[in-house]
Structure 1
Amino acid sequence: MIARISGVLVHKQPAQVVIDVQGVAYEIEISFNSFCQLPTEGETAVLHTHFVVREDAQLLFGFFQLEERSLFRILIKVNGVGPKLGLAILSGMDADAFCHCVQNQDSATLVKIPGVGKKTAERLVLELGDKLSSWQTGANTGVQAGSVKPALFAISAQSEAESALVALGYKPVQASKAVAAAIRSSPDGGCEDLIRLSLKGMI
């Protein structure tokens, strides 16, 4: 099993990164929370990974924090929750927020995450209640606000944020409205800030 990847961050986007390890480039699917903690492209990045082998594909999922990978592995053991949905859940909210929902039996908030229906949300609460009763990530999943971006990049940041939300599973109309609201809240925010605020507003 591939447990960790360390190398040069060649490319990153909210749902996927490419890391070059001594000439071999690994394509790794990541959560938005992990994306926000990555260094800039060209720098060294380290991700804790989970390797999935299927008949039709070999997939590598990466996490900036070990705690997030641990929660991912707990999630995919729930009936009906595969790796893709597990990653979508961890993109929709951070580990602490998810555990809070489960501990408080808040399935109504969980159904707001793309791909999580009412039955899945109720199953998550039911099956994980005991397992996550004392969960503490101990990780700082908050995202530091970036420096103020010139107005010239506002349109680009808005477009990139909307595309990222669509990639995370939200409908284009939802993404557009959420990003517009985020811009009103943070007019000078960069792409990552807009995505973070958009996700917060939709949950």
Structure 2
Amino acid sequence: MIAKLRGLLDSFGADHAVIDVQGVGYLVSASTRTLSQLGAIGDEVVLHTEMLVGEDFQRLVGFASAAERDWFRLLISVQGVGARVALAILSALTVDEVHRAVASGDHAMVARAQGVGPKLAQRIVHELRDKAGGIALGPQSGGAATPMGSLAQDAVSALTNLGFRPSEAAAAVAKAESELGPEASLDALVRSALKKAAR
């Protein structure tokens, strides 16, 4: 499984780039948002990747961040959403915008992506609302995304392991973090979030 590529940008098109890794060119599909961040031909680039393998195809998909890759995985878990549609959504919306749309049930926002009709947008929002709690947004005010691997992310994971739904865990941790501040320890964050989730 190829999880990450570091190499030189050899060429790119409307929906893909070729990354030269020590003389081997990897064709990587990507969102227009990721492609726009790659820089100039010849520059060194780093892409998080997801390998898709089917009966008659192999496809490597690249992402500017691990969070974008995580959202891609969530999106393609929804029936009717393939790699092309998932990349269209990630081209139209930032990771934070996708999360806000799912968390708030704003399927009209998801439907802005090319090839996503109202029914599919509703299905995406409905199916991902609970799953998305483990990836990130903090307060409901639309605050900054919680970095993957941060204390808040670990606290959300701890609560979900205790049986709370991801969305409940994320909301409780967000409240605890806003009260305790960014300097709070993981232990304090989990204890405070548990009290809030249990109310």
Q: TM-score range by the shorter chain?
A: 0.5 to 0.7
Question: How is 1:19-168 mapped onto 2 (pairs within 5 angstroms)?
Answer: 19-133=19-133, 135-136=136-137, 137-138=145-146
SS in 1 for 2:113: coil
Per the TM alignment, residue 60 of structure 1 is displaced from its structure 2 partner at its CA by: 0.4
1:36 CA drift (Å)? 2.2
What SS does the corresponding residue of 1:2 show, helix, strand or coil? Answer: coil
| C-alpha displacement of 1:76 | 0.9
Q: RMSD across aligned C-alpha pairs, in angstroms?
A: 1.6
Q: Deviations over 1:113-138 (max 9, x none)?
A: 11111111111111111222462345
Worse-matched range after superposition: 20-29 or 33-42 = 33-42
Deviations 1:162-196 (A, max 9, x none): xxxxxxxxxxxxxxxxxxxxxxxxxxxxxxxxxxx
Per the alignment, residue 162 of structure 1 pairs with: none
Unpaired stretches in structure 2, ≥5 consecutive residues: 138-144, 148-199
- Give me the identity figure in percent: 42
Which position in structure 1 is the counterpart of 2:7? 7
The total of aligned residue pairs comes to 139
> 2 CA distance for matches of 1:52 and 1:33?
20
1:39 deviates by: 2.3
Q: 1:67 & 1:78 partners in 2: Cα distance?
A: 18
Alpha-carbon separation, structure 2, partners of 1:48 and 1:133? 21
Q: CA offsets, 1:68-111, max 9 Å, x none?
A: 00111111111111111111110111110111111111112222
Q: Distance in 1 between matches of 2:29 and 2:19?
A: 11
| d(CA) in 2 for partners of 1:54, 1:45 | 27
The letter for the 2-side match of 1:103 is A
Paired with 1:14 and 1:65, the residues of 2 have a C-alpha distance of: 19
Output the amino acid matched with 1:117: G
Paired residue for 1:188?
Answer: none
Structure number with larger C-alpha Rg: 2
Letter in 2 for 1:44: E
| Higher RCO, 1 vs 2 (CA within 8 Å, ≥6 residues apart) | 1
TM-score by length of 2: 0.66
Aligned-partner SS, 1:131: helix
Taking structure 1 as the reference length, the TM-score comes to: 0.64
Partner Cα separation in structure 2 for residue 104 and residue 14 of structure 1: 31
